[in-house]
């Protein structure tokens, strides 16, 4: 049975008190979550340390939503890989479309951050996604393959096993987003898998974790994770309340 990843990024939501309350409820539910489910939470920087401490010893991993690639330096407002490590996070989300759109994050910057994460034993979770316009032009696959290939440039076969790729179509994310159908998501995931296969061989490619994100909810989670090349889901709104996230963890185990 495959491991199914079910995680959430809180984006710019939750104060420390709200984060702690969430984790307390989650902790009570975690013992009921089957071993085949891999939960993860990506809080804002201000509460990563506390969330990691509360969840230490549980199976739930934590991560950060961004990271600079340099170890230190004059980069006002940024957070370095050693700082991320120190606060207990194991995952580093990189290249979410909101960061690409609002903070001018480029494929090249993401590539440098992937390298930096791997050098510091952090697992990069790289988001790739097509816009509504790119979808209408019929270049969704080209778009996400380009993003993934640039992010993985210089990543060895051993290292790629640490990388997680999340396909997050921009048109599916957030309020007003329309979730990809399971078949549509599977088609893109199959293209990503096959590009991984070309680059790293089938055995390695099969083990790379490929997630889907964008308006995942309790109604569509199961049909998404049943797809051959979808190894889990990366959820926003539907997982921001503890009851919602716990429900998704339960559904993923059935």
What radius of gyration do the chain's Cα atoms show? 17
Q: Pick the piece of the chain touching ligand PGA (CB under 6 A) from 51-59, 106-114, 195-203, 235-243.
A: 235-243
Instruction: Return the axis-axis angle of helices 16-29 and 242-252, rounded to nearest 10°.
Output: 30
Can you list the alpha helix ranges (DSSP code H) found in 35-94?
48-55, 81-86
Residue 35 appears among annotated catalytic residues:
no
Which of 200, 214, 221, 252 forms a contact with ligand PGA (CB under 6 A)? 214
Determine if 212 is a binding residue for ligand PGA (CB under 6 A): no
Burial class from Cβ neighbours inside 10 Å (0-12, 13-18, 19+) for residue 42 reads: buried
Residue 177 in contact with ligand PGA, rule: CB under 6 A: yes
Check residue 220 for interaction with ligand PGA (CB under 6 A): no
List, in sequence order, the alpha helices (H) in the chain: 16-29, 48-55, 81-86, 97-102, 107-119, 132-137, 140-151, 157-160, 182-200, 202-207, 221-225, 242-252
Decide if residue 234 touches ligand PGA (CB under 6 A).
yes
**For ligand PGA, which is the closer residue by CB, 177 or 253?**
177
**CB of residue 4 to ligand PGA, shortest distance in Å:** 17
Q: Tell me which H or E stretch contains 79.
A: none
State the nearest-atom distance from the C-beta of 198 to ligand PGA, in Å. 27
x-marked contacts with ligand PGA along 4-43 as a string, rule CB under 6 A: -----x----------------------------------
Binding residues vs ligand PGA (CB under 6 A): 9, 168, 173-174, 177, 213-216, 234-238
Q: Point out the residues that are catalytic.
A: 96, 168
């Amino acid at each position: 049975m495959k491991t199914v990843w079910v995680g959430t990024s809180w984006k710019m939501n939750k104060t420390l008190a709200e984060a702690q309350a969430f984790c307390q409820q989650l902790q009570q539910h975690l013992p009921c979550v089957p071993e085949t489910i891999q939960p993860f939470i990506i809080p804002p920087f201000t509460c990563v340390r506390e969330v990691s401490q509360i969840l230490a010893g549980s199976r739930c991993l934590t991560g950060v939503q961004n990271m600079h690639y340099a170890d230190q330096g004059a980069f006002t407002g940024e957070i370095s890989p050693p700082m991320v490590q120190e606060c207990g996070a194991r995952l580093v989300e990189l290249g979410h479309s909101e960061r690409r759109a609002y903070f001018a994050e480029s494929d090249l910057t993401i590539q440098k951050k992937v390298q930096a994460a791997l050098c510091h034993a952090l697992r990069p979770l790289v988001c790739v996604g097509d816009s509504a316009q790119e979808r209408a032009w019929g270049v969704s696959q080209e778009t996400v393959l380009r993003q993934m290939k640039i992010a993985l440039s210089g990543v060895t076969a051993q290292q790629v096993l640490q990388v997680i790729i999340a396909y997050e179509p921009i048109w599916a994310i957030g309020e007003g987003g329309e979730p990809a159908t399971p078949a549509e998501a599977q088609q893109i995931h199959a293209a990503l898998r096959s590009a991984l296969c070309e680059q790293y061989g089938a055995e390695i490619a099969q083990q790379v974790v490929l997630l889907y994100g964008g308006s995942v909810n309790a109604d569509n989670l199961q049909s998404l994770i049943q797809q051959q090349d979808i190894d889990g889901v990366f959820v926003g709104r539907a997982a921001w309340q503890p009851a919602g996230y716990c429900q998704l963890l339960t559904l993923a185990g059935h």
